[in-house]
Amino acid sequence: MIYHHLFDQVKEKRTVRAGLIGSGHYGTAVITQARYIPLLEIPIVADVDPQAARLAYHHAGIPDDDIALCDSRSDAIRAMESGKFVIVEDPMLLMDMPIDVIVESTGVPEAGARHAYQAIQHGKHIAMINKETDAVIGPILQHLGDKAGVVYTPVDGDQHGLLIGLILWARSLGLEVLSGGKARNNECIYDPEARTVACGRAAITVNESEAWALNRIPEGEASRYIPARRETLASLPKTSNSDLGEMTVAANATGLMPDTPPLHLPVVRISEIPEVLCPVEEGGILQTSGVIEIVTCLRATDDAGLGGGVFIVVSCENDYSRTILTTKGLIPNGRGSTAVIYRPYHLCGVETPISILSAALLNVPTGAAAVQPHVDLVARSNCELKAGTTLGGGHSDDIDAAILPASPIAEGNPLPLYLLTGNRLSRDVGADTLITQEMIDPPADSLLWSLREQQDAHFGLKKNLK
> What domains are there in the chain, each with its CATH number?
3-157+349-362 (3.40.50.720), 162-342 (no CATH), 375-458 (3.90.1210.10)
Q: Are 243 and 125 in contact (CB under 8 A)?
A: no
pLDDT given for residue 348 in this prediction: 97
Task: Please tell me the predicted confidence (pLDDT) of residue 379.
Answer: 95
* φ/ψ (deg, to 5) at 142: -65, -40
Q: What is the pLDDT of residue 386?
A: 95
Buried b (16+ CB within 10 A) or exposed e, 291-309: bbbbbbbbbeeeeebbbbb
Q: Is the sign of the CA dihedral 30, 36, 41, 46 positive or negative? A: positive
Quote the percentage of the chain above a pLDDT of 70.
99
CB 114 within 8 A of CB 31: no
Q: Are 308 and 184 in contact (CB under 8 A)?
A: yes
d(CA 421, CA 409) in angstroms, rounded, equals 15
pLDDT at 157: 97
The residues with which 179 forms a beta bridge, in sequence order, are 291, 313
Structure confidence at residue 465 (pLDDT): 43
Number of residues in the chain: 466
Model confidence pTM above 0.75:
yes
Task: Give the count of beta carbons closer than 10 Å to the beta carbon of residue 259.
Answer: 20
Instruction: Please state, as a whole number, how many other Cβ atoms lie within 10 Å of the Cβ of residue 261.
Output: 16
Q: Reduced to 3 DSSP states, what percent helix, strand and coil does the chain have, rounded to the nearest 5?
A: 35, 20, 40
Contact 53, 45 (CB under 8 A): yes
Exposed, middle or buried, 458 (CB in 10 Å: 0-12/13-18/19+)? middle
Check if the beta carbon of residue 341 is closer than 8 Å to that of residue 311.
Answer: yes
Residue 250 DSSP class = H
Contacts of 173 (CB under 8 A, 6+ apart): none
In angstroms, the Cα distances linking 348 to 345, 390, 442 are 9, 31, 34
Number of H helices, E strands in the chain: 14, 19
Task: Give the chain's residues under pLDDT 50.
Answer: 465-466
Exposed/middle/buried for residue 164 (C-beta within 10 Å: 0-12, 13-18, 19+): buried
The one-letter code for the residue type at 326 is: T
Q: Which helix (H) or strand (E) holds 251?
A: helix 241-254
Pairing of strands 310-315, 176-183: antiparallel
Dihedral sign for Cα atoms in the order 102, 31, 10, 131: negative
Q: pLDDT at position 258, please?
A: 98
DSSP 286: B
pLDDT number for residue 392: 83
Residue 42 has a pLDDT of: 98
